[in-house]
A = this chain, B = another copy of it.
């Protein structure tokens, strides 16, 4: 079998009857070449269907720009929309967008970051909540330093900053503030016993939402009751299971429910419906993330809007603007409550 090797610049040169250098000049464009030879070269390129080798080219610093997004997984809307923002800004600035998943495995994360360094990515964006222990902080510091040394840049996206001296960029959002607003909305409506179906304990994203929940309570002088907060998986299934259990137990007293995110809210709603409970007549419910589907809920779900795409866009923008002095920024994006029909005043 004939393995038709792909043509190199040498083949083009031979066919056009010129030197490799000339071909290179025609291809890069920014150099005077006689119309005559240019035409000959272009013809040869066409006939051979030649494309330059990005790798060979990269050896001379003429590298195709690349930004890499690293997330635990891409299926959930939250990450999908961050990815969309990253991709959008990347292609706008003529960069390739590489997407990798770690499945929350630190080993895979390490592996992926190394891979991105090998690829000479301009920026590596780590997105999503984390358990912020010492091990994590040290790992991030290493990544950031390694990337910075290599002229690249680590971006922490949708997760907390690691301090002003952290050698990387952080793009976070008003997570606590959003939760505060959501719970205050319930409080304003007269609710005092507010259940919170939160995410996993110690996960920053979830913890900050609990913090906002508590501060809102405090703002109204409502004592915090730990029994009202449930930690667990924050997907639809997790919401359903925990709401189911609480209803079955039947001992908890509450009128408002704050779901850790919209997925949880969907599960909560399903469990409620099973028991013939109605929202907002029997219980008021608020979600978080303002997933596009929130408005299709029954009833349309009041939720906290997180600017996921903007987070992604900003991450790329900050990382790639070449003011190397500002490669240690910390940006905080706003959130706000989108009021729909799932909360009603308690009489």
Residues of chain B within 8 A (CB-CB) of A55 are 54-56, 58-59, 63, 119-120
Instruction: Decide if A339 is an interface residue (CB 8 Å cutoff).
Output: no
Complex formed: what's the CA distance from A52 to B150 in Å?
Answer: 12
Residues 29-87 of A contacting B (Cβ, < 8 Å)? 49, 51-59, 63-64, 73-75, 77, 80-81, 83-84, 87
Is A6's beta carbon under 8 Å from chain B? yes
Shortest distance in angstroms between A147's beta carbon and chain B's nearest beta carbon? Answer: 10
Pairwise interchain contact B87-A74, C-beta atoms closer than 8 A: yes
From B4, B57, B115, B299, A149 is in contact (CB under 8 Å) with B4
User: If the complex has contacts A6-B150, A87-B74, are A98 and B100 also in contact, measured as CB distance less than 8 A?
Assistant: no
Are A99 and B99 in contact, with the CB atoms below 8 A?
yes
B298–A53 CB distance below 8 A: no
- In the bound complex, CA of A145 to CA of B99 (Å): 27
Taking CB atoms, residues of chain B closer than 8 Å to A145 are 49
Contact call B64/A115, Cβ cutoff below 8 A: yes
Given contacts A83-B74, A293-B292, contact A97 B96 (CB under 8 A): no
A114 within 8 A of B: yes
**Which bucket holds chain A's interface residue count?**
35 or more
Q: In the complex, what residues of B have CB within 8 A of residue A99's CB?
A: 83, 87, 97-99
A151 to B101, CA, bound (A): 27
Give the residues in chain B near A52, CB-CB below 8 Å. Answer: 118
Bound Cα distance A63, B91 (Å) = 24
Chain B residues closer than 8 Å to A77, beta-carbon distance = 77, 80
Q: Tell me the bound Cα distance from A57 to B115 in angstroms.
A: 13
Among A3, A52, A97, chain B packs the most CB atoms within 10 A around the CB of A97
A117 lies within 8 A of chain B by Cβ: yes
> What is the distance, in angstroms, from A253's C-beta to the closest C-beta of chain B?
27
- Chain A 96-129 interface residues, beta-carbon cutoff 8 Å to B: 96-101, 114-115, 117-120
The CA-CA distance from A74 to B74 in the complex, in Å, is 11
Determine the distance from Cα of A247 to Cα of B145 in the docked complex, in whole angstroms. 61
Give complex CA distance A97, B83 in Å.
Answer: 13
A73 to B80, CA, bound (A): 11
Distance A297 CA – B293 CA, assembled complex (angstroms): 8
Q: Decide: A53 near B120, CB < 8 A? Known: A4-B149, A6-B150, A88-B101.
A: yes
A296–B151 Cα distance when bound, in Å, is 46
16 chain-A/chain-B pairs, Cβ below 8 angstroms: A6-B150, A49-B149, A51-B114, A51-B117, A54-B119, A73-B84, A74-B87, A75-B80, A80-B80, A83-B99, A97-B98, A269-B296, A291-B293, A293-B293, A293-B296, A296-B297
| Chain A interfacial positions (CB closer than 8 Å to B) | 3-4, 6, 49, 51-59, 63-64, 73-75, 77, 80-81, 83-84, 87-88, 91, 96-101, 114-115, 117-120, 145-146, 149-151, 266, 269, 291-293, 295-299, 309
